Amino acid sequence: MAACTAAQQYIHHLRQQLENEKVEGNRAMRERVQGELDGARRDQQTFQEEMLRGVPRVLRGADQAKKERLWSGKLEAAHANRTDRERQQAELREYRQRAEEADHERQQTLRQTVVGAGATTVNFMSQVQQWDATFVSPLQTSIEASHTVDHEEWLKQLQRERAERNTNLVQHMRTDLSASCGRAREGAHDQHAKSVEAEKLAKQQNAARREHLQEGEHAYKLQLYDANRNQLQRLKGLKLEQEEMRHTFAERQRRKEKEDEKAMEALEDEYLSYLRENALASPLPGVPCRRDSGWLLFHTNRHVGDVATYSSSCFT
C-alpha cells in the first residue's frame, strides 16, 4: 500500500509539473502576443501622430508660398505702375517741351513779322527813322486817288496776311493738339491693353498655383490614406499571424498533452507490472522484495525529463 501511495504521489507530482509547464508556456505565449500587439499599436499611434504633425507643416508651407506669391504679385504690379507713371511723365515732359518750342517759334515769327528783320526794342526808333527816310508810309492819306487805292490794297494785303498767319497758326495748333490727343489715346489704349494682359496673366498664374496646391493636397491625402491602409493591413496580417500562431501553439499543446498522457499511462503500467513482479517474487505476501534495492529508471517524455529515478527504499 505504501508503494502504491508513493507511486500515485510521484505520478501526481509529474502531472502537476506538466500542468505548471503548460501554464507557464501559455503565459509566455500570451505575454509575447500582447507585447507584439502593444508594439504594433504604439507604431500605429506614432505614425498617426507624425502624419498629424506633418499636416500643419504642409499647411504652413502652403500659406507661406501663397503669401510669397501674393507679395511677388503686388511687387510686380507696383513696379509696372511705377514704370507706367514714369513713362507718362516722360511723355508729358516731351509734350510740354514741344509745346514750349512751338510757342517760342510762334513768338519769334510774330516778333519778326511785327518788328521786322533784325528789329528790336533797342533800335526801334532808329529803324523808324530809317523807314521815314526811305519811303512814305502808306498809312498817310494822300490827296491823289492813286495813293488812296494803293493804301486800301496795302491794308487788304495786311489783312489777308494776318488772316493767313492766324489760319496757319490755328491749323498748326489743331495738328499739334490732334497729334498729342492721338498719342495720349494710343498710350491709354496700350496701358489698358497691358493692364488687361497683366490681369489675365495673373489670373492664369493664380489658377495654376491653385491647381498645383490642390494637386499637392490631393497627393498628400492619398499618401495619408495609403499609409493608413497599409498600417491597417499590416495590423490585420499581424493579428492573423498571431491567431495562426495561437492555433498552432494550442494544437502543439494538445498533442503534447496526449503524448504526456500516453507516457504517464505507460509509466503507470510499467510501474504496476514492476509491483506485480516484486509481489510475486516476495517471500511473504504484502512484503516487497529487496533484490532490486538499487535505483529504478523510468523513461518519460522531454517535459518530465530524460531519466527519472526512484529509490526502492521508498517502498519498505
Q: pTM of the prediction?
A: 0.30
| 3-class DSSP assignment, residue 19 | helix
| 3-class DSSP assignment, residue 300 | coil
> Residue 2: what pLDDT?
55
> Residue 197: what pLDDT?
92
- pLDDT averaged per 10 residues in sequence order, the chain, 316 residues: 62 73 74 78 77 68 81 85 85 82 76 55 64 60 60 84 89 85 87 90 91 88 88 88 86 88 86 79 45 38 38 39
Biggest CA pair distance of the chain: 206
In whole angstroms, what is the distance from residue 282 CA to residue 279 CA?
Answer: 5
> Residue 199: what pLDDT?
92
> Residue 311: what pLDDT?
37
What is each CA distance from 190 to 82, 156, 193, 268, 312, in whole angstroms?
A: 15, 50, 5, 114, 123
> Residue 31: what pLDDT?
81
